[in-house]
Structure 1
Amino acid sequence: MVAVQQIEEETVKLAKYTDFKVTSVVGGQSIEEQGSKLRRGCEIVIATPGRLLDCIERHYCVLNQCNYVVLDEADRMIDLGFEPQVQAVLDAMPHATLKPEDENTELDQKRTYRTTYMFSATMPPAVERLARKYLRRPIVVNIGRAGMAGENVTQRVIMIKENEKAHRLSSELDMIHEKKVIVFVNTKRQCDNVYAHLEDAGYHCTVLHGGRTQDQREISIKGFKEDTYNVLIATDVAGRGIDVPDVALVINYDMPNNIEAYTHRIGRTGRAGRKGTAITFLTGGDSEVFYDLKRLLEESKAVVPPELARSEAAKQKPGGVSQKRDSIQYAKK
């Protein structure tokens, strides 16, 4: 929802000297007020899939004249379980506006065909499935490599014990001075715990998680952007899509349980041509991601901690088949 707000702000700026009306449709706000705006007409709708589907089902809007569709962060929407809603919204659009699947079929020059853009940091099977179903004759543009860390991000992984995290966090924040920092955690409770620790220590910090109202989230992100706070503590759900160009440091206080989330998190720094640093606190309890993390660090030419490199969990993907051959004994004659 924070991402919707930020995209709306930028779209309004771009549409300032046009006749385009921009409307956002997002949960946590009055659907009746949003429906009223939609009925008055608009050219650009920025929405979360669930709330947009609600508006369609209540007949607040129809998509018969929608010619352009943008799926931003498609992988994350699917990862959060929104694939059915995304498909339902796309299916609510006229099938006749899709280009023919057969590339040899001649296009009707008098017809307006739908143009679909899909942005995704990673390409898991679910995203590929979505692309095959709704995209026609797609042109693929790769910026860097899908699923890889950005070149402007310096990655540091610190092997640590759980009870050492709080002290180490304070040490890292002291070295960054007053620059902007995002601290990612895995749960709302952990978010509040880290916030309490940092606030008691005198840091200017705020939180962003699913337990906060939409108004509270907007106040937090606004304060972070305007330097009221220089430390933002966030969960994946709330922190996804944060676009603040001058974030100097991302700290993974908790390592996420999959490498895709890790890639998204560290992508909050090193943006708009700037350099950034991502520090990850890694414990023995994160062994499920050791293999993928080690591989990503190696491909990014980042330093792999010796403890991670030596770990058995980093040598084979969880659930994979061991490459070691069974020993064969030959009977003596």
Structure 2
Amino acid sequence: MPPPANPASRASSALDESYVPPMTNNDLAAVRSRYLGVDKKKRKIRKMNDRKFVFDWDEQEDTFAADAPAIVGSHRQGAQVMFGRGHLAGMDDGGGGPVTRRTGGETQLADAMERRKALKAGYDDRHWTDKPLNEMQERDWRIFREDFSIAARGGNIPHPLRSWAESTIPEQILAVIDTIGYKEPSPIQRQAIPIGLQNRDIIGIAETGSGKTAAFVIPMLAFISGLPPFTDDNRHLGPYALILAPTRELAQQIESEARKFASPLGFRCVSIVGGRAVEEQQFNLREGAEIIIATPGRLKDVLERHVLVLSQCRYIVMDEADRMVHLGFEVDLTFILDKLPSEAMAGEDQGEAMDVDSEVMVKKGRTRVTTLFSATMPPAVERLAKKYLKRPAIITIGEAGRAVDTVEQRVEFVTGDEKKKIRLLEILNSGGFQAPIIVFVNQKKSADMVAKDLSRAGWRATTLHSGKNQTEREAALNSFRTGDADILVATDLAGRGIDVQDVSLVINFHMANTIEAYVHRIGRTGRAGKLGTAITLLSNDDDEVMYELKQEISKSPVSKMNPELARHESAQHKVTRDMKRKRDEEQD
């Protein structure tokens, strides 16, 4: 048996096994960091009342994600973008694309290496205003259309105009545009002109005062410039182009605008409207005219008398088509359009193909180019479009049927015409608005009455309504345009087509009977991007339009809601005539 171990040696062995060397400062810090977390940042705790949904939306998100495969990799799940492993959330999309960061609404690549890679891949984050035309991508064009509230559908839609200089408009027409002084195209002109230059049918829906006349006149002039010049052999066959308008005033305004473009190019414009002797208009047509501007009723009369034929008319414009239908001209329009040539246009019978809505459309048999402008699309206008337009491009600028954003809309509750006269003079004498000013009423006798009261108060006022003949109407408009009259008192006859520069104020002495008429009335101010004001003197008798008026004002970014209108019972829901009649019967 071995001898027992030495007690001293046993103690020494135990000490060796249990010995723990002293901890250094680094060791102590590691223990504290692991078990106590003393060097970690304090976790931010959200307050109970701060628990709200936060949706961090970047306005360019959709536009960016749709066209940035080189930035985010090759795989996309709907609108969600997943970044490569080690970049964000540990997801592997197989592409390993570079991470993007968003600061101040702009997209930036995370580091210099990724920026260099993206540059090699062709990514360019410059805004479209900083790019030449040949570097514009589809993403840039989408942003461009968003910037100008342009929506277009129908297939094979060309890119809109960025400027006159970059367009394909013929040089001689560009020179006229420059002479007239058009600096930049309006939104409707930016999209309608490139489509019109393709000689394609168009349906245009745009707010009042948006520059529609030039939008259809410029492509029209480009079209007829390619046709044979007028000679003694062909001038008797009628015009090359026809523009239809609902009222005499609008037709004459279009004539005046069209002449600015057509006369320098050697083309004649003639208007055919009611209120003038047919013999006088026949005399104006003796030398022929490439462009005729007409109201449907008088043109139908002229065609039936064989004063004019449309044997070579190939370009048709229907301006304010909804208004023409509302005035009862649908039958007249159908009569006129059926008088147009039935044989195919030159070159159309060759069967030229065009891709429209993923279909190959053969343009064989197309007899004319037809352009239709309308603020709304009632069923009667849709019938005209379906019958006479062939696969049209449809352009919408902004939101159809609403007032422009440059008009401040105000509402005041005033009961009775006498109190309205007093309030009208208070507004005019306040000095807050400069002439020219338009005052709208609902009846022609009211127009004469209000104009007399204004004249007694020292204002130079003139009137425009259906009780005046054509000569008197033209004289009233001319005095208003030249400044001989400060105020125009008018019925809805002046609600459309009257373009007087720098109208600072529109006053609805009587509220319009429909919200559409109201929108067109106040559209006489705030035109061409300038600011304007519209004041409506409202009464309880206007309850049928209060709900829609409230909705219209609430959409305006520059208008404040009248508290009394907001609380009014009739502004809470739509009031129909039947509802109003029943309510009146119950009160009786």
Q: TM-score, normalised by structure 2?
A: 0.52
Amino acid at match of 1:71: M
Match of 1:253 in 2: 509
The aligned counterpart of 2:26 is none
Residues 128, 307 of structure 1: CA spacing in aligned structure 2 closer, same or farther, 3 A cutoff?
A: farther
Where does residue 27 of structure 1 map in the other structure?
Answer: 274
Write the mapping of 1:195-206 to structure 2, written as runs, cut at 5 A: 195-206=451-462
CA contact (8 A) 2:319 2:372 kept: yes
In the alignment, which residue of structure 2 is the partner of 1:299?
555
Of 135, 138, 143, which residue of structure 1 is paired with 2:397? Answer: 143
Deviation of the 1:94 alpha carbon: 2.9
Query: How far did 1:185 drift?
Result: 0.7
Please state if 1:165 is matched with 2:416.
no
Q: Is the 2:448–2:463 Cα contact (8 Å) retained in structure 1? A: yes
Partner deviation per Cα, 1:135-190 (whole Å, 9 max, x = no partner): 22111222221111101111111111123210111111123454210111111011
Question: Which amino acid is 2:556 matched to?
Answer: S
1:23 aligned counterpart, secondary structure:
strand
How far apart, CA to CA, are the structure 2 residues paired with 1:315 and 1:290? 8
User: How far apart are the structure 2 equivalents of 1:244 and 1:159?
Assistant: 28
Matches within 5 A, 1:1-333: 1-97=248-344, 104-108=360-364, 113-162=367-416, 163-175=418-430, 176-301=432-557, 302-319=559-576
Which is higher, the Rg of structure 1 or of structure 2?
2
Is 2:366–2:390's contact at 8 Å kept on the other side of the alignment? no
Where has structure 1 moved over 4 Å in runs of 4 or more?
A: 95-105, 319-322
Pairwise CA distance, 1:132: 2.4
Count of equivalent residues: 320
SS at 1:261 equivalent: helix
Which has the bigger relative contact order, CA under 8 A and spacing at least 6? 1
Post-superposition CA distance 1:196-237 (Å, at most 9, x none): 110111101111111111111111111111111110011112
- 2:268·2:290 contact (CA, 8 Å) conserved in 1? yes
Q: What one-letter code is carried by the residue in structure 1 that aligns with 2:305? A: R
Corresponding position of 1:327: none
CA drift of 1:126 comes to 3.0
Equivalent position amino acid for 1:170 in 2? L
For structure 2, list consecutive stretches of 5 or more residues without a partner in the other structure: 1-247, 580-588
Q: Is the 2:440–2:489 contact (alpha carbons within 8 Å) kept by the matching residues of 1?
A: yes
Verify the 8 A CA contact 2:433 2:505 in the aligned structure 1. Answer: no
* Residue identity (%): 49
Deviation, 1:239, is: 4.5
Contact 1:39/1:60 (CA < 8 Å) preserved in 2? no
C-alpha contact 2:515 2:548 (8 A) present in aligned 1: yes
Amino acid at match of 2:329: F
Counterpart in the other structure of 2:83: none
One-letter amino acid of the structure 2 residue matched with residue 127 of structure 1:
V
Alpha-carbon contact 2:269-2:292 (below 8 Å) kept: yes
CA distance in 2, matches of 1:312, 1:60: 57
In 2: Cα distance, 1:320 partner to 1:252 partner: 22
Query: Alpha-carbon deviations, 1:44-90, whole Å to 9, x = none?
Result: 00111100110111111122211111111112222222222222212
Match of 1:179, as an amino acid?
A
**Aligned partners of 2:461 and 2:486 also within 8 Å:** yes
TM-score by length of 1: 0.89
Could you say what secondary structure the match of 2:397 adopts?
coil
Distance 1:193 1:321, change over 3 A: closer
- For the 8 Å contact 1:39–1:61, the answer to whether it is kept is no
Q: Aligned AA for 2:562? A: P
